Amino acid sequence: MNLLLFGPPGSGKGTQADFLTREYGIPQISTGDILRDDVKRGTELGLKAREFMNRGELVPDEVMVEMIRERITRPDCAGGFLLDGFPRTVPQAEALDGMLETIGQRIDRLLYLHVELEELVERLTGRWVCPRCARSYHMVNNRPQDDMKCNVDRTGLVHRDDDTEQTARRRAEVFYQRTYPILAFYRQRGISVEVDGQGSIAEVRERVKRALQGQTGEAA
Ligand code: AMP
């Protein structure tokens, strides 16, 4: 199963990815997580990406396409993968299509998590993340069990540099201008499924499960 998780920043892609990777036994490929790791390690890519990320803008397509090409051809992706945060532009979607075709694969499903703008901003500005495993928490909706530590590996949680209100709004704007249009690309193929991403994590998880089983969830 090659699954594409689609939705604006703060729609819960990373959170739902957690159970989907277990359910399908496939790796999660989050381009945002890969970039953040490079920024932390101070690599050439990290230095290049940092400015774009802090402004809430997209990192150039050439950089992202090469990153994905290298990642999806690794052995752990042979049985499928879950993409989170890629593609984000029409050229990225076209490049992904081309590279999958050359290895005899395709995207099987796109899952769109729909969340209203004000809810996105509220989620992003209240979000804290684990710098080690990238799990997200929220100080109201999804508190860590222990004071500001990751439930899984106990690392101290941090606030992402791009989760300020101004940058969160810019990222949402960039999503609707540059990323949302690629939904049409996948709708045409009849592989997109839309799910209401509002409500508790467990409620959304149930909707996602049902939508992927094809029992409910509007075909987008
Ligand atoms: P995310 O963690 O998915 O919200 O991504 C954080 C930031 O990383 C974005 O605001 C972009 O600056 C950058 N980024 C992640 N994925 C991509 C992509 N596919 N194309 C361009 N920039 C990206």
pLDDT score at 220: 41
Residue nearest to atom 11 of ligand 1 (CA): 58
CB 150 within 8 Å of CB 157: yes
CB 59 within 8 Å of CB 47: no
pLDDT score at 139: 87
**Which numbered atom of ligand 1 lies nearest the CA of 30?**
3
Domain residue limits, the chain:
2-115+179-212
Residue nearest to atom 8 of ligand 1 (CA): 32
74 catalytic? Reply is no
88 catalytic? Reply is yes
pLDDT digits (tens, 9 = 90+) for 193-208: 999 999 999 999 999 9
pLDDT digits (tens, 9 = 90+) for 147-165: 899 999 999 999 999 999 9
pLDDT score at 141: 87
- Residues 117-132 as b/e (b if ≥16 CB within 10 A, e otherwise) read eeebbbbbbbbbbbee
Name the CATH topology of 2-115+179-212: Rossmann fold (3.40.50)
**Whole-model pTM over 0.75:** yes
Amino acid type, 178: R
pLDDT score at 148: 93
Residue 138 CA from chain centroid, whole number: 17
CA of 123 to the centre of ligand 1 (A): 17
Residues with CB under 6 A from ligand 1: 9, 31-32, 35, 52-53, 56-59, 64, 85-86, 88, 92, 162, 171
